[in-house]
Homo-oligomer: A and B are copies of this chain.
Amino acid sequence: MIKELKSRTISVCLSPAMLPLHKLDGKIAVIIDIFRASSSICYGIHNKAKAIIPVSTIEECLSHKNEEYLLAAERDGCVVEGFDFGNSPFSYTTEKIDGKTIVLTTTNGTRSIRLSMDAKEVVLGSFLNLTALCNWLTKQSESVVLVCAGWKDNFCLEDTLFAGAVVEKLQHDYEIHDDGAVASLDLYQLAKSDLGGYLKKSSHRERLKKLNIEKDVDFCLKIDLIDTIPILKDGKLIKLMDEESSLNGSNDNLNIDLESKLG
C-alpha cells in the first residue's frame, strides 16, 4: 500500500489566477480561504448546516430566494445589503443554521470552489479542521492540490500559511511537487509559533482590521477546534462521512463552549 502511494504529490496553487496551470483532473482540491469563507463553511457544516451551496454571483444567490434557504453574501469583507448574513464564522452557529441549507457567495472563496470543479473531490480546509483534514487526506490515494483563494486573485499570506501547515503534516507521505509547496512550508514554519503576530504584516489583516472584525480573525486562526470536513457533492457542500474519522465525537458541544468563550 505504502509503495503504491509514493507517487502521490502535493502542490500549492498560490492564487486562483494560476489555477489553469494545475491539472486538477483525478486529484483532490483543497479550497483555502482562511479569512473567512473556508473557515466559516467548515464551522457551519460542523454546526449541522444541512448543506452550503457555493455560488459565484450575488444574482445567482438571490435567485434562490423563497426556497426556504438562508442567503449569505459577502463582498469586500461586508455583508451585502438585503442578505441574511455574510461570511463571519459567528453567523454559522448551531442556533442559527442547524438543519438549514445556506446559499453563499463570497469575494474569493466560493469563486475558487467553482473554479476547482474539475477535481475528483473538492474539500474545504481551515485551521479549524487542520488535523482532521490531513488525517483524511493521508488515507486517500489521490494527489492533492491546495488552492489558495487569495484576495481578488492576488497572493495572500494567511491562505499560504495554512497550505504550509498541510504540507508540513503530509510531507513524508507525499512528494512535494512544486515551488509553491516549498515556499508555503517554509513560511509556515517561520510563522507557526505566533500565527496572529506574523499575520500582522499581511495586507488582508489590515483590511479586516478596518472592517472591525478582529474577533473573526482570531477565531479563524484557532487550530483543530473541529473535526468536520466539508466536501462538494452535486454542487453542495455537505459533511464528509468518513467512518475512520472521529465525526460526532467529543466536540459536539463545541459551539456552545466557543460562543461563551468568545461571545
The interface of chain A, by Cβ under 8 A from chain B, is 14-15, 17-18, 20-21, 152-157, 160, 176-180, 182-183, 186-187, 190, 201-204
Contact = CB atoms under 8 A, between A and B. Distances in A.
Contacts of A20: 17, 153
Given A187-B187, A190-B190, A18 B155 contact: yes
Contact of A154 (B18, B154, B201): B18
Contact of A203 (B152, B179, B203): B179
The 10 closest A-B pairs by CB, nearest first: A17-B17, A157-B179, A155-B180, A182-B201, A17-B18, A156-B179, A21-B154, A179-B203, A14-B155, A179-B202
A161 to B, nearest CB: 10
- The winner among A20, A152, A183, A201 for most chain B CB atoms within 10 A is A183
Given A155-B180, A182-B157, A183-B155, A18 B15 contact: yes
Contacts of A204: 179
Given A18-B154, A18-B155, A21-B154, A190 B186 contact: yes
A184 to B, nearest CB: 9
Contact of A15 (B15, B157, B176, B190): B15
Given A15-B15, A18-B15, A190-B190, A183 B154 contact: no
A129 to B, nearest CB: 23
Nearest to A18: B17
A191 B51 CA distance: 44
Nearest to A204: B179
Contacts of A154: 18, 21, 178-180
Contacts of A18: 15, 17-18, 153-155
Contacts of A15: 14-15, 17-18
Nearest to A191: B186
Contacts of A203: 177-179, 182
A153 B176 CA distance: 19
A39 to B, nearest CB: 18
